[in-house]
Structure 1
Amino acid sequence: MRSSFTLFTLLLLHCWHIDRIHGQKSEGALTVVEKSKGEGADEEEEATVGDEDEGDLEVVQPTELWQTLKPGQAVPAGSHVRLNLQTGEREVRLGEEQLKYWRQEHREEEGETLSSFSPEELKRAMKKIKEDSNTAHYQASVESRFRPLEELKEDMAQLDLLVETDVQIMKRLLEQLNKNNTSTEQRVSVLQELEYLVHQVDNAQTLCSMGGLQLILGGLNSSDFRVQESSAFVLGSALSSNPVVQVKAVEHGALQTLLTALATAQPLHVRKKVLFAMASLLRHFPFAQHHFLSRGGLQVLSALFREDGGGIVRTRIVTMLYDMISEKELIAQKGLEAFLDSAHEERVRQYSRVSLQGALLEEGWCVLVPQLLDSTEHDFREKALRALLAMAPACLQEYRSHSSLLGSLRSLQDQYQDLIQSEMILGEENSYFREIVELIDALHVKMK
């Protein structure tokens, strides 16, 4: 009887256990995410399917990172599903319990994997990963910064039609300058562009080979002062430190053209530009200096000097004469080794034909230059003192007989000594004033 009761009890427990198993969800159950019925919906509809239905659904295997779910996709039970309010899409990742076991298993697998490799193998693998990463990153960076080669070729082909070289620009400008119907404003604009270009030595020489020198010299004879000024400016810029252009200019009669322009009544701004062109032509060019003297260049300059009341033209004339004197002295003071150079010997021979000192004495420049000392500008006085010192070998007797010159030097010396003392009292020191005093002292010594 007792054994029958025990058997009956066990049978009831077994039936109760089977019923409980069928009443619960399967451990492999899946959750189906249905499409939301309205935009902005924040509720999720889930459906549980058994293992037998799993083959008919697209199952998403969650990880520790959030993944976007598509409508109709299924996820394992226990997964964490949320609605992203920013994008409006549902996302899934492992649930808390799943995530804990996943991390633990991942660490164990990682540890087993790492333990199966030697340290040297791991180093090589990490180095290769780093190199591959750097290469991929560099390639992506380059591709993002640069355009395809074919596109660049097409753009360059279009730009090539618009880009002009300096030679092409000068050719176009000279053609416009040579037209009879070109207005004065257009001529001035063309000359300004040419002046910018001829600062380069090659461009200035190319201008001569194109016949532009004749057009520029023709502009000096224009009846419009603006064209005269701009033409003189272009000519002076092209001649500066360019022996090839200097020779070409003399061959085309530039020296006589400039002398004629200086001898003609001109506004001050035109005379300054013509003087600039003349100084550029004569600098370091003894052949042009010789012809300048022989064609009455000093007489033309002396007339300009007497007419100028402001001192700007006077200062430029005196500076040009000082440069010419200094050039010849520097050539004569070269060492003996310089005379072994045939080119230097030729320059010495050419400078020997330039009798500038004697011409200055004959044309009365020993008396004209001291007049610049009466200026109130320190720069004008300095230029005059330097020229007087350079002219001293030829003008010394004139200096001594010039009673007002000695008085002017004493007055200037006292004035600049006072300026130096005032600066010392104020705690300032200007070596420029000391330099002027030294020039005055040097001239005093020569006059004794």
Structure 2
Amino acid sequence: MVRVSRPPGAARCRLLLPVLVLLLCGHIAAVAGHKSGSALTVVNTDGGVGGDEEEEGTVGDEEEEETVGADEDLDVFQPTEQWQTLKPGQALPAGSHVRLNLQTGQREVKLGEEQLKYRTPEHREKEEEEESRPSFSPDELKRAMKRMKEDLDPDLNPDLNPADPDPNPDHQDSAASRFRPLEELKQDMAELDLLVETDVQIMGRLLQQLNGSAATTEQRLSLLLELEYLVHQVDNAQTLCSMGGLDLILGGLNSSDFRLQESSAFVLGSALSSNPVVQVKAVESGALQTLLTTLVTAQPLHVKKKVLFALAALLRQFPYAQQHFVSHGGLQVLAELFQQDGGGILRTRIVTMLYDLITEKELMFQAGLDPVTDPAHEERRRQYSRVSLQGELGEKGWCSLVPQLLQSSEHDHREKALRALIAMAPACSDQYRLQPWLLDSLLALRLQYQDLVHSEMILGEENSYFSEIVELIDTLHVKLR
């Protein structure tokens, strides 16, 4: 139903009469055809709305279907809570309210009641953000992309030289102006009571404090912890040696405090790991003798674990140190430590280290490197040939010591022992046969691990860890025949 406020004057009534007749006919036709057409609220010439109440129409489904069915791209109008002018050719979403402003002759649109019902504050914030965001038409975006391609294409842009990363001197000046020199930054931070230090400066400061007599034991432990973090980097570990820090670390191994011995061994092992330069410096400084002496003396378990870590890092991939280790009674020192360890922790570490040394030498002689591409290969082979590790293991009683690790209840300990026994078989096979209990132990272990493998197969697990142990047992059993 359309309500019209009566404007003053006869002339104004004559103007509104034809419009009202047309609107009334349209409304009747819509009701007769059971269609949800667009009812309009008529606005008078004074800008007010006819009557105290308004009737807003709702854009029906039929109008939406006709608009969406067009082949061309649609300019969809997005209504809000306020009345807005609808431009010609714009499509409306279903449920929008429409009215006709008689003063301007334009249609005005806002959200319908159903749309307002489900409208949340998040929707309002999103609309405000989208309205404030600059919009670009598809043609403007296409032109911008085309200009970007032309600027980056050397064929289309002759001023662009591919060999020059930035041929524009003005751009270089602007880029350089965004960064400040390091000295200027240091000066600014110094004014703010901040200190910027490189790793070299930090290590120099730590070594100076570590060498000072005023530092307490707790402070020394903290300093060694910071050094251990830094020397993981190859360059820092080498710089530590050039600063004389290696002598301070070795001096910590001779300390009467077990905590300082442990921390010093930890720093030394981290610096030696995969660092040939530090390995050479350590051997020249007497690190091998210091480590062996520390293992011989009465030390707690946690100290010996860190010392073994440092010893293994010193010997790995260093045949010169391995030769001195064997000639200076290193295998005998490890044998005594092996017999003293009842828990099996040190035994496993020792056996693992021996296994690594044996396989390392075997891989060196199996590798078919070309001396032309690796000039140092022949020299390394010559140095490894001087290390008589297999023969010394047999003479120092290791052929009977390593099998004792099979009696451990830990699967990892047994695995390490089996691998070491297989690697030592060329020098110890005869002594293995003189130990009848060894064969019985292997048979008992094989039955045990076969049951474990069978249990895993029932659960659907294949290629398990226990099947690898069974293969190791079979390999060793073949070597004992």
> Which category describes the TM-score, using the shorter chain as reference length?
0.5 to 0.7
Match of 1:189 in 2: 222
Match of 1:257 in 2: 290
String of CA shifts for 1:31-54, please: whole Å, max 9, x gaps.
Answer: xxxxxxxxxxxxxxxxxxxxxxxx
Quick check: 1:283 aligned with 2:316? yes
**Per the alignment, do residues 227 and 128 of structure 1 end up closer, same or farther by CA in structure 2, a change over 3 Å counting?**
same
**Per the alignment, do residues 130 and 218 of structure 1 end up closer, same or farther by CA in structure 2, a change over 3 Å counting?**
same
Amino acid at match of 1:326: T
- Separation of aligned partners in 2, 1:295 and 1:357: 16
TM-score by length of 2: 0.63
Match of 1:420 in 2: 453
Contact 2:456 2:464 in 1 (8 A): no
**Per the alignment, do residues 102 and 196 of structure 1 end up closer, same or farther by CA in structure 2, a change over 3 Å counting?**
same
TM-score by length of 1: 0.67
**Per the alignment, do residues 339 and 378 of structure 1 end up closer, same or farther by CA in structure 2, a change over 3 Å counting?**
farther
- Separation of aligned partners in 2, 1:374 and 1:128: 80
Match of 1:174 in 2: 207
- Separation of aligned partners in 2, 1:432 and 1:129: 60
String of CA shifts for 1:319-338, please: whole Å, max 9, x gaps.
Answer: 11111111111111122745
- Separation of aligned partners in 1, 2:214 and 2:320: 39
Amino acid at match of 1:230: S
Match of 1:64 in 2: none
Aligned length: 332
User: Which one of the candidate residues 348, 355, 359 is aligned to 2:388?
Assistant: 355
User: Which one of the candidate residues 431, 434, 437 is aligned to 2:467?
Assistant: 434
Amino acid at match of 1:259: L
User: Which one of the candidate residues 282, 305, 321 is aligned to 2:338?
Assistant: 305
Amino acid at match of 2:475: A
Amino acid at match of 1:405: L
- Separation of aligned partners in 2, 1:442 and 1:338: 34
User: Which one of the candidate residues 335, 346, 365 is aligned to 2:368?
Assistant: 335
Match of 1:379 in 2: 412
Quick check: 1:233 aligned with 2:263? no
Is the helix fraction higher in 1 or 2?
A: 1
String of CA shifts for 1:54-99, please: whole Å, max 9, x gaps.
Answer: xxxxxxxxxxxxxxxxxxxxxxx9689xxxxxxxxxxxx9995664
Amino acid at match of 1:247: V
Which segments of 5 or more consecutive residues in structure 1 lack a partner in the other structure? 1-76, 81-92, 104-124, 136-147
Quick check: 1:322 aligned with 2:334? no
- Separation of aligned partners in 1, 2:478 and 2:422: 10
**Per the alignment, do residues 96 and 164 of structure 1 end up closer, same or farther by CA in structure 2, a change over 3 Å counting?**
same
- Separation of aligned partners in 2, 1:447 and 1:126: 82
**Per the alignment, do residues 325 and 429 of structure 1 end up closer, same or farther by CA in structure 2, a change over 3 Å counting?**
same
Contact 2:369 2:377 in 1 (8 A): no
Amino acid at match of 2:423: A
- Separation of aligned partners in 1, 2:459 and 2:441: 27
- Aligned residue runs from structure 1 range 49-64, under 5 A: none
Quick check: 1:404 aligned with 2:437? yes
How far is the alpha carbon of 1:172 from its aligned partner? 1.1
Q: Secondary structure at the match of 1:342?
A: coil
Largest Rg, 1 or 2: 1
Amino acid at match of 2:445: L
Which segments of 5 or more consecutive residues in structure 2 lack a partner in the other structure? 1-44, 49-83, 86-99, 109-136, 148-174
**Per the alignment, do residues 318 and 128 of structure 1 end up closer, same or farther by CA in structure 2, a change over 3 Å counting?**
closer
Contact 2:252 2:260 in 1 (8 A): yes
- Separation of aligned partners in 2, 1:342 and 1:128: 64
